[in-house]
Amino acid sequence: MLTVRPVTASTINPTEQAQVHFLGLALNIDTIIGTVIAALVVIGVGLFVRMRITTGVPNGVQLALETLVKLVRNQVDEAIGIDVAPFLVPVAMCLFLFILACNWLSVLPLNVGDHALMEPPTADVNLTYALALLMFCWQHVAGTKRHQGLGKHLAHVAKGHFPPFAPKWIMLQFVDLSSLALRLFGNMWAGGLMISLLALLPGYVFWLPGAAWKLFDLGIGLLQAYIFMLLTITYFKEQMEIR
């Protein structure tokens, strides 16, 4: 039976998760399940649009995706050039839809026993760092291919950096990586914390601010997915441009 867990000030911990330990690693089960669900949602939406695609009047989902594709294509074209990085359009699309699906899992308000039915997996820094690290490595691979070799790519990256300041440049690369991960994590974690705080209100009062915050949380989830996608395109531009 689904029940709402009573929350007290001493038990607020929106990031508490069930864990399984394997080979010395602690695996966050809620994050893994949420990630799989979000991935299945993205795949399901893609398959649905493919089955229903038409050259006539599009349905609502097809129209929304076509609008999103056009927006992403324009961003990539302005930043790098669509001919230079055509692969970046599907990458950015998948990234946006996946993060959005992860973020919007927060609309599920019920708990099973002492555990949340589903927390957004992006409220776990392990997932956001994994996404940022994947994009970080991918942009340097794309840059290496663009500059026709690792040596030329590293020369491009280091161009304009005075050698004694190399540690500062390395630190800035780490800051770029961390900013992608922590911005997304911080906003989604804060949303869970706010719901936990609002749950301290009496039940007959909680529904109104709780519902209002959920709507606000949906908007934040959409904005954060877009920002992550946009910054990823920007970082790809920095690594692939010819100077």
For residues 214 and 239, which has the higher predicted lDDT (pLDDT)?
A: 239
pLDDT of residue 114: 42
Using CA atoms, how far apart are residues 65 and 63, in angstroms rounded to an integer? 6
The 8-class DSSP code of residue 53 comes to -
Residue scoring higher pLDDT (32 or 26): 32
* Cβ pair 98, 134 in contact under 8 A: no
Residue 203 lies in a domain: yes
Q: Specify if 2 maps to a domain.
A: no
Residue 4 domain flag: no
Task: Dig out the tokens for 186 from the structure.
Answer: 């911080």
CB atoms within 10 A of CB 101: 24
User: How far is 21 from 102, CA to CA, in rounded Å?
Assistant: 24
All residues at 6 or more sequence positions from 214 whose CB lies less than 8 Å from its CB, including other chains: 106, 107, 109, 195
Higher pLDDT: 97 or 218? It is 97
For 79, other C-beta atoms within 10 Å of its C-beta total: 20
Would you say residue 66 lies in a domain?
A: yes
* 147-174: average pLDDT: 71
Per-residue pLDDT for 43 more than 70?
yes
Q: What is the pLDDT of residue 98?
A: 93
- For the chain, the average pLDDT equals 77
Other Cβ atoms less than 10 A from the Cβ of 64: the count is: 13
For 158, the token pair is: 């280091």
CA distance 16 to 213: 21
- Tell whether the model's pLDDT for residue 4 goes beyond 70: no
DSSP SS3 for 26: strand
Question: Does residue 227 fall inside a structural domain?
Answer: yes
> What pLDDT was estimated at residue 235?
87
The larger pLDDT score, comparing residue 166 to residue 51, is at 51
Burial of residue 195 (number of CB atoms within 10 Å: 0-12, 13-18, 19+): buried
Domain that holds residue 111: 9-240
What are the beta bridge partners of residue 22? 25
Residues near 33 by beta carbon (within 8 Å), at least 6 away in sequence: 118
Q: What is the pLDDT of residue 80?
A: 86
pLDDT over threshold 70, residue 152 = yes
Please, what sign has the CA dihedral across residues 203, 12, 2, 126?
Answer: positive
Task: Report yes or no on 3 lying in a domain.
Answer: no
Distances, alpha carbon 7 to alpha carbons 115, 124, 135, in Å: 11, 20, 37
Using pLDDT thresholds of 50, 70 and 90, give the confidence band for residue 8: very low
Cβ atoms of 54 and 62 within 8 Å: the answer is yes
Q: What is the pLDDT of residue 243?
A: 63
Of 22-26, 106-110, 138-142, 184-188, where does the model show the most confidence?
138-142
The residue-averaged pLDDT of 8-25 equals: 59
Q: Region 187-208: what's the mean pLDDT?
A: 64
Instruction: For Cα atoms 112, 116, 118, give the angle at the middle one, nearest 5 degrees.
Output: 110
Say if 128 falls within a structural domain: yes
> What local confidence, expressed as pLDDT, does residue 198 receive?
61
Average confidence (pLDDT) over 83-95 = 90
Number of domains in the chain: 1
Asked if 236 and 139 touch (Cβ cutoff 8 Å), the reply is yes
Q: What is the pLDDT of residues 50-65, one digit of tens each?
A: 888 877 777 788 888 8
Of all residues in the chain, the percent with pLDDT exceeding 90 is: 10
Rounded distance, CA 14 to CA 123, Å?
9
The reply to whether 94 falls in a domain is yes
Return the pLDDT at 59: 78
Short-list 59, 227, 56, CA closest to 67 = 59
